[in-house]
Amino acid sequence: MFSDFTEIVILSLQVSGIALLFSTLIGVPVGAIIGLTRFFGRRLVAAILYTGMGFPPVVIGLFVYILLSRSGPLGALTFPFIPDLFTPGAMILAQTIISFPLVAGFTMAAVMGVNPNLRTQMLSLGATKRQAALTVLTEARLGVIVAIAAGFGSIISEVGAVMLVGGNIEGRTRVLTTAIVLETRKGNFDLALLLGVVLLLLTFFANLIMLRLQGTVFDE
Amino acid sequence: MNKETIYQLQNVTKRYGHRQVLNIESLEVFQGEILGVVGPSGAGKSTLLRIFNFLEQPTSGLIKFQRERYEPGREMPLKVRRKVTTVFQRPMLLDRNVFDNVEYGLRLQGRRNGNQRVQRSLEQVGLSEFARQRACTLSGGEAQRVALARAMVLQPQVLLLDEPTANLDPHNVGLIEEIIKTLNHEQSVTLVLVTHNVFQARRLADRVVFILEGQVVEVAQVDQFFEAPQDARTKAFVNGEMVY
């Protein structure tokens, strides 16, 4: 019982943690580029990102399910980086897609909130364009951390997509949210509540860490 | 005065869409001088400064900086760009302490062990005791002095000043003017000072250029500019009359 419980908690953190890492590695640079550069169709790209922020996770789960199913476009391929359905890899893919627009969208907004004169002044101090962009990103760190926190919040508590692509298989793809659904259906409300409290605590501590990363802004 | 030319502008224009903001047939800046750039708002003074700092390319024409050519479609090499820096009217300081703000340019340029230089720059602007204070807690005058220190620490060959004392109280204006004079006299830094304030131009500049609607109306030695201006519009501007 306890080992099952620990396994579920660890898998939840692994799946959401890796998905958050991917969405951060892709989403923060993408958001920064959209926020800092002017190109044709920029407004349209921003509108697509904002739409993605409100996309129902279960629909993304369905999309990934179709994509990875045997008859789907990726299902027949056997590349090592294309995960199989009903594996943690498929859950990570779905959660990465769910959190990416949030991370990229909030990062874009944070970067656009920094006074554009800062970038000019950094260039004037001898910064390369890349250094100037990184400086702006650093100054927008409060918003970037919020972007990552929002991305994490959207996937750690998400149930529809992981249920669809993971299948809630005991010992393989069962995570906290799918376990809560299962235990509630079985009438094990005590266990479901306990899992719920653990999920809340995990989210709380993850956000505490992110607040710590935001620096001393809350001490002022 | 050393008359070696550091900037030479030839038929330089700058357009934003259909609007032409700069059209300079000829202008030179000499090594080691303080060139005052005066003119009403929207005359193109700040655009000229941005071109001097290679932050914007001209639409047409040629700028020679030392031996380098800066013209449309050509990026200035980073090594050359780093010889010039600007102090802006509204300094944007980083959300860090004063020391880190002054040191930042050195870090960007990959120069290490700059602690002593940072300390010296802070001493020069009279802010040594503020080193560990957060930049966001500074007054406008202090922030402008930090901006001056972070530019000075880079030891640029050319320092561009865009209305550096606008909106500051007389005490801070005096301090900043003293720093500008010291930089020019003791370190031979070439300075281009954009200002609305003709009195300030008279106090600081060796030569003054009057720009109106993007064009050079007159450029002359400071005494001649204020006491015997050649152009009627310069005379009117110097006398505080409305010039369009």
The CATH architecture one would assign to domain A2-219 is Orthogonal Bundle (1.10)
B121 CB neighbour count, 10 Å cutoff = 26
Q: B169 and B134, same structural domain?
A: no
Q: What is the CATH number of the domain that holds B162?
A: 3.40.50.300
Q: B123 and B27, same structural domain?
A: no
Instruction: Out of A26-40, A108-122, A146-160, B162-176, pick the least confident.
Output: B162-176
Q: Residue B93: closest CA among chain A residues belongs to which residue? A: A118
Domain segments of chain A as ranges: 2-219
Q: B25 and B117, same structural domain?
A: no
Q: Please provide residue A104's backbone torsions phi and psi, each rounded to the nearest 5 degrees.
A: -65, -45
Q: What was the pLDDT predicted at A216?
A: 62
Q: B127 and B163, same structural domain?
A: no
Q: Is the dihedral of CA A92, A95, A97, A100 positive or negative?
A: negative
User: Can you give the pTM of this predicted structure?
Assistant: 0.84
pLDDT at A125 exceeding the cut of 60? yes
Q: What was the pLDDT predicted at A81?
A: 84
Q: Compute the nearest-CA separation of A49 from chain B (Å).
A: 28
Position B83 in a domain: no
Give the rounded percent of residues in chain A with a pLDDT score beyond 70: 96
8 Å CB contact of A125 and B55 = no
Q: What was the pLDDT predicted at A80?
A: 80
Q: What was the pLDDT predicted at B244?
A: 61
Q: Compute the nearest-CA separation of B96 from chain A (Å).
A: 9
Domain boundary residue among B116, B136, B155? B155
Q: Compute the nearest-CA separation of B69 from chain A (Å).
A: 18
Q: B122 and B169, same structural domain?
A: no
Position B148 in a domain: yes
Q: B185 and B220, same structural domain?
A: yes
Residue of B76, B78, B92 to mutate, testing the A interface (most A Cβ within 10 Å of its Cβ): B92
Per-residue pLDDT tens for A161-193? 999 999 999 999 999 999 999 999 999 999 999
Give the rounded percent of residues in chain B with a pLDDT score beyond 70: 98
* Structure token pair of residue A169: 């298989």
Position B84 in a domain: no
Q: B71 and B1, same structural domain?
A: yes
Position B191 in a domain: yes
Q: Which residues in chain A touch residue B151, judged by CB atoms under 8 angstroms apart? A: 125
Position B54 in a domain: yes
Q: What was the pLDDT predicted at A99?
A: 97
Q: With H, G, I as helix, E, B as strand and everything else as coil, classify residue A171.
A: coil
Q: What average pLDDT score do residues A75-83 get?
A: 82
Of A124, A128, A131, the CB nearest to B86: A124
Position B81 in a domain: no
Q: B128 and B107, same structural domain?
A: yes
Q: Which residues in chain B touch residue A121, judged by CB atoms under 8 angstroms apart? A: 86, 88, 91-92
8 Å CB contact of A127 and B108 = yes
Structural domain boundaries, residue B142: 93-155
Q: B244 and B146, same structural domain?
A: no
Q: B127 and B58, same structural domain?
A: no
Q: B168 and B242, same structural domain?
A: yes
pLDDT at A46 exceeding the cut of 60? yes
Distance CA A88, CA A48 (A): 28
Give the contacts of A108 (CB within 8 A, at least 6 positions apart): A31, A32, A34, A35, A46, A49
Q: What was the pLDDT predicted at A29?
A: 95
Specify the number of domains making up chain B. 2
- Chunked into runs of 10 residues, chain B (244 residues) has average pLDDT values of 84 94 96 95 93 96 95 93 95 94 93 87 92 92 93 95 89 90 91 92 96 95 94 90 68
Q: B224 and B182, same structural domain?
A: yes
8 Å CB contact of A125 and B88 = no
Per-residue pLDDT tens for A128-139? 999 999 999 999
Position B23 in a domain: yes
H/E run at residue A190: helix A189-213
Q: Compute the nearest-CA separation of A30 from chain B (Å).
A: 23
Q: What was the pLDDT predicted at B239?
A: 85
Q: What was the pLDDT predicted at A78?
A: 77
Per-residue pLDDT tens for B189-238? 999 999 988 999 999 999 999 999 999 999 999 999 999 999 999 999 88
Q: Which residues in chain B touch residue A117, judged by CB atoms under 8 angstroms apart? A: 88, 90, 92
Q: What was the pLDDT predicted at A133?
A: 94
Query: What is the full DSSP assignment across chain B?
Result: ----EEEEEEEEEEEETTEEEEEEEEEEEETT-EEEEE--TTSSHHHHHHHHTTSS--SEEEEEETTEEE-TT-PPPHHHHTTEEEE-SS----SSBHHHHHHHHHHHTT----HHHHHHHHHHTT-GGGTTSBGGGS-HHHHHHHHHHHHHTT--SEEEEESTTTT--HHHHHHHHHHHHHHHHHH--EEEEEES-HHHHHHH-SEEEEEETTEEEEEEEHHHHHHS-SSHHHHHHHTT----
Position B85 in a domain: no
